Amino acid sequence: MKTFITATAFALSASVAFAAGHGMAPMVEGADQDVSGGTVTASKVVAGENGWLVVHRTDSEMKPGPVVGYAPLKMGENMDVSAILTEEVKSGDMLMLMVHSEAGGMKTGVFEYTLGAKEDGPIKPEGNLVMATITAK
């Protein structure tokens, strides 16, 4: 198990370093948008590894809240990534678009994160979340 954890940590560090070393530091861009169609879209996401764009509820305290949508990401640059919302989001609600890893889960390609869990959790290069906050219209 220790070897697996070490190898996973090395692979994660290497992929983030690869993206950063090629002018592609992990990031999310998004703008306030109409979500009445049941989706929210990040205009651009850069991921250091395959993972997830996760939509969290948030508020003026800027803490990630419950997950209300997610979409898969490929390593590298992803444009116009849309996540289907899993519950109603009203005009004026604040949403946090965040990059999560595929690491730590039991199944590849299956989003397994729940708030506070380690499976498919948020990436934190240099201890910082990779996210953007938007307001639903």
Would the pLDDT of 1 be above 90? Answer: no
- Six token digits for residue 83: 């996540």
Residue 96 phi/psi, 5-degree rounding, is -110, 120
Question: Token match 């934190």: residue?
Answer: 124
69-119 pLDDT, tens per residue?
999 999 999 999 999 999 999 999 999 999 999 998 899 999 999 888 889
Paired with 96 in beta bridges are 56, 133
pTM over 0.95: no
The overall average pLDDT reported for the chain is: 87
**Cα-based distances in Å from 8 to 1, 101, 102, 103, 128:** 11, 11, 11, 8, 19
Percentage of the residues of the chain whose pLDDT score is greater than 90: 77
pLDDT at 17: 45
- Domain 2-135 belongs in CATH node 3.40.50: no
pLDDT band at 22 (very low <50, low <70, confident <90, very high): low
In the chain, alpha helices (H): 2-21
Closest C-alpha among 15, 34, 21 to residue 99: 15
The residue among 24 and 25 whose pLDDT is bigger is 25
The CB density around residue 107, as the number of other CB atoms within 10 Å, is 10
Would the pLDDT of 13 be above 50? Answer: no
